[in-house]
A = this chain, B = another copy of it.
Amino acid sequence: MPPTVRDRVRAEVTAEITAVARRQLAEVGAAGLSLRAVAREVGMASSAVYRYFASRDELLTRLITDGYDALGAAAEAADDPGAAPRERWLGVCRAVRSWARAHPHEYALLYGSPVPGYAAPRDTVPAAARVGVVLGRILGDAARSGALPEAAGGDRDPELVSVETAAVLGGEHPAIDDAVRVRALLAWSSLYGTVSFELFGHLAGSVADTDRYFDIAMGELTDLLGL
Contacts and interface: CB of A to CB of B under 8 A. Distances in A.
Chain A: interface secondary structure? helix
A183 interface: yes
A114 B200 CA distance: 6
A201 B193 CA distance: 14
A186 interface: yes
B114 A108 contact: yes
Interface stretch (A15-23, A137-145, A157-165): A157-165
A87 B10 CA distance: 60
Interface in A202-227: 202-203, 205-209, 212-213, 216-217, 220-221, 224
28 contacts: A28-B116, A29-B113, A30-B113, A31-B116, A105-B116, A111-B196, A112-B113, A112-B114, A120-B201, A159-B208, A160-B208, A160-B216, A161-B207, A164-B205, A165-B206, A165-B207, A185-B206, A185-B217, A186-B190, A186-B221, A189-B190, A189-B197, A189-B203, A189-B217, A190-B193, A192-B193, A192-B197, A196-B196
A42 interface: no
A196 B222 CA distance: 21
Contacts of A216: 160, 179, 182
A109 interface: yes
A117 interface: yes
Given A28-B116, A113-B29, A191-B193, A220 B224 contact: yes
Interface residues of A, number: 56
A105 to B, nearest CB: 7
Nearest to A25: B116
Contacts of A120: 201
A14 interface: no
Contact of A112 (B27, B112, B186, B207): B112
A192 B108 CA distance: 15
Given A189-B197, A192-B196, A205 B165 contact: yes
Contacts of A159: 208-209, 212
B206 A162 contact: yes
A32 interface: yes
